[in-house]
Amino acid sequence: GAGVSQSPSNKVTEKGKDVELRCDPISGHTALYWYRQSLGQGLEFLIYFQGNSAPDKSGLPSDRFSAERTGGSVSTLTIQRTQQEDSAVYLCASSHPGQGYEQYFGPGTRLTVT
């Protein structure tokens, strides 16, 4: 079966531009997670969705970051006015309560801000 997919796989953008990153979770997975992987900070948890709702947005690094999920499926992570420190690999994961909330990760989107 299909795993978690993310697009684009690579994104190069200029400082100050907005970017949208997309995540398609495994079909039927109700929970969806966004993480950021960077050399300096390792793997950081950003935000979690149960269905379309994100109960806690405190993990987002700044108010330039936002995320939404519609229809209980696809999610987008938007970064406004990108900065060089936003350069990282953004990972998405999904899980299902029937599987003990074991998280399955996508291949990531490598974002480079020039």
Partner 1 sequence: GDSVTQMEGPVTLSEEAFLTINCTYTATGYPSLFWYVQYPGEGLQLLLKATKADDKGSNKGFEATYRKETTSFHLEKGSVQVSDSAVYFCALSEGRGGADGLTFGKGTHLIIQP
Residue 82 or 109 with smaller CB distance to partner 1: 109
Longest dimension (CA), the chain: 42
* CA 67, 70, 74, 80 torsion-angle sign: negative
Q: What is the closest distance, in whole angstroms, from the C-beta atom of residue 46 to partner 1 in the complex?
A: 8
CA dist., res. 111 & res. 54, Å (int): 23
Question: Which residues within the stretch 53-112 sit at the binding site for partner 1 (CB under 8 A)?
Answer: 55-56, 59, 91, 93, 95, 97, 100-108
48 touches partner 1 (CB under 8 A): yes
1 touches partner 1 (CB under 8 A): no
CA dist., res. 44 & res. 65, Å (int): 14
51 touches partner 1 (CB under 8 A): no
CA dist., res. 5 & res. 25, Å (int): 7
Residues that bind partner 1 (CB under 8 A): 31, 33, 35, 42-43, 45-48, 50, 55-56, 59, 91, 93, 95, 97, 100-108
